Structure 1
């Protein structure tokens, strides 16, 4: 065996997981597939790893991610008895350098495939508020020129405009614009000289833009890329001492995790967002409590799910009328969270009623959200056996769908097509199915 030592650390983790060799191999393959690198490992590969064969460098993060998801905690290279990447690949770039590199990659159409292969990691290190608050030195690296509030206002206005485009047309249309703006306009502003109050305002508005860009990456299904944008948003929010965007970003990361089925990670992030905003106003409190309720429901904790959804409802009743242009929380959003809690706790009929209420309350301006939530409503109506009602809902989805460039909307339409396929003897179902094929083509 060439003097190889058995990997006892990996053996201990495997024993703790309760997986068989085949189950471990399948879990690693699944993570690889999510990341755009399909694998075909079987139990013999696991046996070799435990005997001391070092997995390929590209596979090692997938092994750690699979174990992290199973065990519900981050698993490091050392924990698994695997060699760490070279120091050069783990050294964290400074805030501005990392922001520019991220934006440049996202601007380049030739890089889209690489970005899509980014790994969504439950073991991602999330900087806590004390780790990022007030740290301005990373972005105070140039004195090329001086900026003022005019430049800050321009960044805020552009962020609001991109958010409006995302709401109407989807993240695939708006995100490249946001990435180009980050690189070509915002990064030079961050390198310029400015008074402290202007710099903090610029950092805060840039954090908003980074959060929004990450949110749009989630919409396109680029979950690893979204995490990278979200972490940058946390760093700049801390540098600006902006609790609101810091908590909003953590809450967005929780939403991403729960939608991907990582309920424990979603709950950790939702609770971290709430803990980092002890003096939140009523709308922000509703915003955070709604996500906590959804996350608790996803973990099966009925008591806390119902407690937090009640807290969200009470806070919404007291909420102020004004909120941010994005990241805000409205009665329609609360109704959506009520629906998710009801569904996770087994009340499918109640979930359908709450989704209908959410759709009724939501402004038609939010076309991308309308497509997603109506598609979800149609799925749940089908689960209840309400075929023709689901077809009517699907028809409303198809009215807006051609105008939206959204990976999540694409996925919803494909899923509805698959769900309708067994019912094509029904004339209504056949008509809507054929319309969906025509629209999606």
Structure 2
């Protein structure tokens, strides 16, 4: 798939990203629907000498899982170029290789998942146009592989990107498309999608729709938890994060703080990057309530772990912390935090 190769190559070369302008988010991006990408095997030409089997598929799956673990623990700044190089140097060749149809479909599904993850890491660095291009490739590969799960997950990821950038209508459309494309989803996936629909609706100020979807997410999560809780998927911590976001967008700052604290308590320890970002967000909301010392304590826990995370979004939260805490340095707790921030963060961030 030549488009995927070119995309990966430009991601490996930061100078080309700037020239091509792939850092710009496009609200007008054309998102291919499921019928448009379903089974498009003709996009991948076979006939080269290489032949693949399930061991190659398993290797791509395992590599994607390892890169995802690195991203969760340390952020995507280092992991994304690794993923891009793997796409270009290994996965692209597998996509053009001969093999049984079952194996080729499995390889495309694995490549779709890796492309989605690489796009997610580009979002983390603020490279939004680049992320969108990875996401579209993930949709195309998922359709060719008849992989509903990754297709819906990718649409949901695109909605998260849009909502974080304040594009509520686009976020809602993408979240609704993800839900509509998953008729056979299990309860955990339905909770995953409904939570994003709730957040998008809340951003638009649609209280009725937001609360309906968050209740749906809670009900589906109850069903999912009764079947056991697999590590690494949408879980009660994620649900509480969505509850917090919905409450905040609807004006309930105190309620959003309560839900974010619950999310933090339930989060698995390996999710360091999310912990830094979300604790910083929690501190910002504690400060909005006038709880300066509580905010300082929360911010300090985020700042203590920040040096281990290479993440543009985590950096943004630290810049915001410095800006918000500086006017309060007459308070001993705030002054101590500000001094720690100046000693920890590079000068460009304070």
Return the TM-score normalized by structure 2.
0.96
Mapped contact 1:115–1:222 kept (Cα < 8 A) = no
State the alpha-carbon separation in 1 of the partners of residues 97 and 22 from structure 2. Answer: 34
**Alpha-carbon shift at residue 112 of structure 1 (Å):** 4.6
Count, aligned residues? 344
Q: 1:238 to 1:324 in 2, by over 3 A?
A: farther
The correspondence for 2:242, drawn from 337, 342, 345, is 337
State the alpha-carbon separation in 2 of the partners of residues 170 and 377 from structure 1. Answer: 19
Corresponding residue of 1:316: 221
**Runs of at least 5 residues in structure 1 that lack an aligned partner in the other structure:** 1-95
- Secondary structure of the corresponding residue to residue 237 of structure 1: helix
1:178 aligned to 2:96? no
State the alpha-carbon separation in 2 of the partners of residues 241 and 101 from structure 1. Answer: 24
Residues 18-167 of structure 1 correspond to what in structure 2 (within 5 A)? 96-114=1-19, 118-167=23-72
- Which of these two proteins has the greater Rg computed from alpha carbons? 1
The correspondence for 2:319, drawn from 414, 426, 431, is 414
**Alpha-carbon shift at residue 144 of structure 1 (Å):** 2.1
Mapped contact 1:116–1:222 kept (Cα < 8 A) = no
The correspondence for 1:295, drawn from 193, 197, 200, is 200
**Alpha-carbon shift at residue 421 of structure 1 (Å):** 1.1
Mapped contact 2:108–2:144 kept (Cα < 8 A) = yes
Corresponding residue of 1:352: 257
1:214 aligned to 2:119? yes
**Alpha-carbon shift at residue 117 of structure 1 (Å):** 5.1
- Secondary structure of the corresponding residue to residue 52 of structure 2: coil
Mapped contact 1:143–1:192 kept (Cα < 8 A) = yes
- Secondary structure of the corresponding residue to residue 27 of structure 2: coil
Q: 1:115 to 1:369 in 2, by over 3 A?
A: farther
Corresponding residue of 1:78: none
**Alpha-carbon shift at residue 118 of structure 1 (Å):** 2.6
State the alpha-carbon separation in 1 of the partners of residues 331 and 199 from structure 2. Answer: 35
1:262 aligned to 2:173? no
State the alpha-carbon separation in 2 of the partners of residues 364 and 115 from structure 1. Answer: 38
Q: Deviations over 1:204-223 (max 9, x none)?
A: 01000000000000011111
State the alpha-carbon separation in 2 of the partners of residues 358 and 322 from structure 1. Answer: 16
Residues 188-199 of structure 1 correspond to what in structure 2 (within 5 A)? 188-199=93-104
The correspondence for 2:273, drawn from 347, 368, 378, is 368
State the alpha-carbon separation in 1 of the partners of residues 87 and 18 from structure 2. Answer: 21
**Runs of at least 5 residues in structure 2 that lack an aligned partner in the other structure:** none
Corresponding residue of 1:10: none
State the alpha-carbon separation in 1 of the partners of residues 229 and 59 from structure 2. Answer: 21
Computed over aligned residues only, the root mean square deviation of the Cα atoms, in angstroms, reads 1.2
Corresponding residue of 1:393: 298
1:275 aligned to 2:165? no
Mapped contact 2:189–2:234 kept (Cα < 8 A) = yes
**Alpha-carbon shift at residue 266 of structure 1 (Å):** 0.2
State the alpha-carbon separation in 2 of the partners of residues 403 and 116 from structure 1. Answer: 29
Higher helix share: 2
Mapped contact 1:215–1:252 kept (Cα < 8 A) = yes
State the alpha-carbon separation in 2 of the partners of residues 142 and 186 from structure 1. Answer: 16
State the alpha-carbon separation in 1 of the partners of residues 345 and 118 from structure 2. Answer: 25
Corresponding residue of 1:68: none
Return the TM-score normalized by structure 1.
0.77
